[in-house]
Structure 1
Amino acid sequence: MQPTPRFEELDYRQTPLGELILRRRTLLPLDNLEVYEVILGDAYLMTSLFNEVEKALSRLGLAAASEAFPGEGVLDVVVGGLGLGYTAREALDQSGTKSLIVVDFLEPVIEWHEKGMVPLGAGLTEDPRCRFVHGDFFGKALGDGFDPDESGRKFHAVLLDIDHSPSKLLHEGNAAFYASDGLAKLLDKLHPGGVFALWSDDPPDDGFMAALEQVFEDCAAHVVTFHNPHQDCESASTVYVARKAGGSGAD
């Protein structure tokens, strides 16, 4: 039996955003833990080593949506950014979720899941509620919407996990989305009472909160802490949750 390699590059692609690498490492100090990592250009984009904040994004966002739309299997959800799939998987694990569209700009990332190259890929691909859409989340948010088969379709929750924060962007073209005018266009894609939730690697930002408050009825910034095994310390990220005015059942 061949030993598991300590380091393995599983895929390498050139993309419009730079070099994209999927790699797998075995961490000997952590009892030979197998870890998947994604590198985009010069940025360390994501790791399976810690994923609590990605899961918290789905839990907090869909908990808020379920308050406006209670019941099992009633929520139509969008996730912006597929990555290693933790936000999407957690969204599907919430009892309120009826359907899920996951939008990702990088086609290789979708292929990793469809080909079972990452641990959560098979489960997402085989779930009939889940659909991958290759495209620009921000263009769709500012344009005709997220469902390529139904222009203008509204959703109960939109969960975003793409940029490092509203001010640390993977591409400068995303900046317009985070201003109040951009957020107002996203509002049109939500049912009354619908929720927008966003992951950020930075502490709560007063400027972004002000933009949210101009558009949404209720806004909150949740600080989520988690253990970082790389540095053996507690780290923190932010999950913003904002709710559109209105109530359950409205169109």
Structure 2
Amino acid sequence: MPKSKLFEELDYRPTPIGALSLRRRRELSLGIDVFEIKLGDEYLMSSLFTASEIALARLGLSELTGDGFNIVVGGLGLGYTVKAVLEHPSVGSLIVVDMLQAVIDWHRTGLLPLGAELIGDPRCRLVQGDFFAIAKGAAGFDPDTPGRRFDAILVDIDHSPAALLDDRSSAFYRIEGLRALAAHLKPGGVFGLWSNDTPDRSFTDRLSRVFAKAWAEPVTFHNPLQNRSFTQTVYLARTTILSNEGA
């Protein structure tokens, strides 16, 4: 088997929010290839740290009962949240919304390791669009079915509700933005949000003003490069369940 190059920039694209680059590097201390996406000089994501992205899907879907779930994921990234959603046996359909066409292209052309698996799953549809703009509109996330509602909407775009990639998303994390998002969920539907930070009580309180139930789940994992634990957060919230649907 040929050795991997120590470093490659696989693609570089200008975007409306800055220069986006996809890099692959060999992490010699672990003997693995690591894929990274950067926005300018800022690291957006790394295939070395995926525990909380996977937890976003698993924790969110664990709150649902029934079968044939219709799911939305905001933010495609390296694809680990999407993969974890598709691994759930009760998922019937998945719409993935990403603003950056480059990220969608990287999956479709096989530059990213999970691309072929995600693209090849007939339940999964990739949609290029501004998740936050779509969330505040009445038409919703399915371009073919305006007003369609979903069992869960899972979001991994900004670093946290207080650390944004672009200031235009700030309204989403306020009360009115969260109410608009909740309108796209079915009764008993789940909203999940990834955050790079530890739990923020003020944001959980905001969720509680919109949803019937809201809480934060810390996700702690080991950082092998620094040999220490690191904690991120998955926020979860649930809409009211109609009385005739049970608890």
- Scaled to the shorter chain, the TM-score interval is over 0.9
Kindly indicate whether residue 183 of structure 2 is the aligned counterpart of residue 184 of structure 1: no
Per-residue CA deviation, residues 94-138 of structure 1 (Å, 9 max, x unaligned), is 112110000000000000000011010000000000000000000
Amino acid at match of 1:125: I
Kindly indicate whether residue 155 of structure 2 is the aligned counterpart of residue 160 of structure 1: yes
* 8 Å Cα contact 1:193/1:248 also seen in 2: no
Amino acid at match of 1:207: S
Gap change, CA 1:91 and 1:153, over 3 Å in 2: same
Amino acid at match of 1:242: A
In the alignment of these two chains, the number of paired residues is 244
Q: Secondary structure at the match of 1:147?
A: coil
Distance in 2 of aligned mates of 1:249 and 1:152: 23
Kindly indicate whether residue 165 of structure 2 is the aligned counterpart of residue 170 of structure 1: yes
Q: Secondary structure at the match of 2:29?
A: helix
* 8 Å Cα contact 1:192/1:248 also seen in 2: no
Q: Which residue of 2 aligns with 1:94?
A: 88
* 8 Å Cα contact 1:8/1:24 also seen in 2: yes
Q: Secondary structure at the match of 1:203?
A: coil
Deviation at 1:244, TM superposition (A): 0.2
Amino acid at match of 2:198: P
Gap change, CA 1:246 and 1:2, over 3 Å in 2: closer
Distance in 2 of aligned mates of 1:219 and 1:96: 23
Kindly indicate whether residue 156 of structure 2 is the aligned counterpart of residue 142 of structure 1: no
Deviation at 1:2, TM superposition (A): 5.5
Q: Which residue of 1 aligns with 2:76?
A: 82
Q: Which residue of 1 aligns with 2:235?
A: 240
Task: Choose which of 87, 103, 107 in structure 1 pairs with 2:97.
Answer: 103
Deviation at 1:65, TM superposition (A): 2.1
Q: Secondary structure at the match of 1:127?
A: coil
Amino acid at match of 1:246: I
Q: Secondary structure at the match of 1:214?
A: helix
Percentage identity across aligned positions? 53
- Normalising to structure 1: TM-score of the pair? 0.94
Deviation at 1:248, TM superposition (A): 9.0
Deviation at 1:43, TM superposition (A): 1.3
- After TM superposition, the structure 1 stretch with the greater mean CA deviation from structure 2, 155-164 or 225-234, is 225-234
Task: Choose which of 109, 112, 118 in structure 1 pairs with 2:106.
Answer: 112
RMSD of aligned alpha carbons = 1.3
* 8 Å Cα contact 2:4/2:33 also seen in 1: no
Q: Is there any run of 5+ residues in structure 1 with no aligned partner, and where?
A: none
Amino acid at match of 1:35: V
Kindly indicate whether residue 28 of structure 2 is the aligned counterpart of residue 28 of structure 1: yes
Q: Which residue of 2 aligns with 1:42?
A: 41
Q: Which residue of 2 aligns with 1:219?
A: 214
- Normalising to structure 2: TM-score of the pair? 0.96
